[in-house]
């Protein structure tokens, strides 16, 4: 067997299939749709509660680290290009240096870490809602850490003040992670090979 023959399967696996690309596009649309549904301003900074973090965490839990991160990257790119897919129907590069910038930047890490944990830590237990929920919690923590740091930096306030602005979102995001656990566990039960790239 030649060197080309040996490396061909690995190269094929490294590329995204048509199914992978379709899933990335579909879940990017899901994130956008969940972001635009009923934003509710909460806290001193006026940041909105949306279903955005639910969709991003679900994306990581269902698609895995690579496809989940690519999905979020596509979503962020669409918003940066001018499509009003961010919270409050906002868009453009300016959002990435605004008060919610830290939350936006965290989304890549949220999808990656959640996908990694569901695939490699949960493994065969990813049909358990509790296990998937526990895998989602580090992503929730990263989202809040990045968000708080972003609010402190771009609003020029102490970290403690930004943390107080962020505090009202914790309960809602933990509840959303619990729902992700329920939904993802059922999906993995129905499609046990979903995390495998095609």
Kindly report, residue by residue over 120-132, the tens digit of the pLDDT: 999 999 999 999 9
**What's the confidence (pLDDT) of residue 184?**
98
Q: Determine phi and psi for 41, rounding to 5 degrees.
A: -65, 130
Cβ contact 98:154 at 8 Å: yes
Per the model's pLDDT, the better-predicted residue between 94 and 6 turns out to be 94
**In the predicted structure, residue 174 carries a pLDDT above the cut 90:** yes
Cβ contact 61:111 at 8 Å: no
Model confidence, pTM: 0.87
With the C-alpha atoms ordered 23, 27, 30, 32, is the resulting torsion angle positive or negative? negative
Contacts of 16 (CB under 8 A, 6+ apart): 24, 67, 70, 197
Fold of 18-190: Arp2/3 complex 21 kDa subunit ARPC3 (1.10.1760)
Strands 47-49 and 40-42: antiparallel
158-169 burial, b at 16+ Cβ within 10 Å, e below that, comes to eeeebbbbbeeb
Q: Where are the alpha helices (DSSP H) in 81-128?
A: 101-117
- DSSP-assigned beta bridge partners for residue 41: 48
The distance in angstroms from the start CA to the end CA of the chain is 25
Per residue in 11-50, pLDDT tens? 435 588 999 999 999 999 999 999 887 555 555 545 667 7
**What's the confidence (pLDDT) of residue 35?**
87
State the average pLDDT for the chain.
88
User: In the predicted model, what is the mean pLDDT of residues 138-148?
Assistant: 97
The Cα angle at residue 58 between residues 56 and 64, in degrees rounded to 5: 95
């Amino acid at each position: 067997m030649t060197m080309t023959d040996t490396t061909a399967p690995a190269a094929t696996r490294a590329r995204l299939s048509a199914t992978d690309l379709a899933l990335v596009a579909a879940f990017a649309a899901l994130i956008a749709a969940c972001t635009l549904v009923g934003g509710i301003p909460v806290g001193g900074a006026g940041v909105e509660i949306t279903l955005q973090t639910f969709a991003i965490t679900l994306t990581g839990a269902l698609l895995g680290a690579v496809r989940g991160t690519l999905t979020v990257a596509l979503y962020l790119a669409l918003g940066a290009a001018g499509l009003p897919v961010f919270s409050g129907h906002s868009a453009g590069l300016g959002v990435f240096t605004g008060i919610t910038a830290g939350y936006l930047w965290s989304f890549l890490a949220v999808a990656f870490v959640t996908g990694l944990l569901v695939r490699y830590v949960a493994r065969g237990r990813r049909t358990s809602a509790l296990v998937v929920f526990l895998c989602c919690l580090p992503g929730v923590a990263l989202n809040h850490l990045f968000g708080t740091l972003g609010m402190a930096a771009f609003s020029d306030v102490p970290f403690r003040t930004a943390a107080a602005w962020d505090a009202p979102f914790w309960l809602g995001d933990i509840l959303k992670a619990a729902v992700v656990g329920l939904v993802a566990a059922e999906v993995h039960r129905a499609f046990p090979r979903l995390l495998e790239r095609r």
